[in-house]
Amino acid sequence: MTKDDLIIKLIQQDFTHLQLVLETSKRGIENEDFHYSGIIDLIFHLLRIDVNDERLVEEVSDVYLKYEKNVGAIPLCFSSEALFPVAKACYQEMVERFRSDAL
């Protein structure tokens, strides 16, 4: 597995986690604590994004959040394969948009 494949898989798993949080909330199970998985921190580390560079972190996060918004519209299923194209597109946009900055 390449580093790119690993990052896409991590994004996919983070989106799966978000789907589960959203679904439990829809079913009336309170999520008073946002169940932070920390996966985005791993993604930033693998992409060598300096977490002290607030501008870059904000820009990368904006791309990530744009794709997260689509996750709720994708039906929840046992396999997270339906999220793979979203995760891949998210990663590709992050790389294309920020290659000159840090990626």
pLDDT 10s digits, 52-86: 989 888 888 899 999 998 888 888 777 788 899 99
Instruction: Answer whether residue 40 is part of any domain.
Output: yes
**How many domains are contained in the chain?**
1
Instruction: Answer whether residue 103 is part of any domain.
Output: no
User: How would residue 10 be classed by pLDDT, with cut points 50, 70 and 90?
Assistant: very high
State the pLDDT at residue 103: 47
Instruction: Answer whether residue 46 is part of any domain.
Output: yes
Q: Which residues form the domain of 51?
A: 3-98
| Distances 71 to 23, 51, 57, 83 between C-alpha atoms, Å | 11, 25, 21, 7
DSSP 49: -
Task: Confirm if 64 and 88 have CB atoms less than 8 A apart.
Answer: no
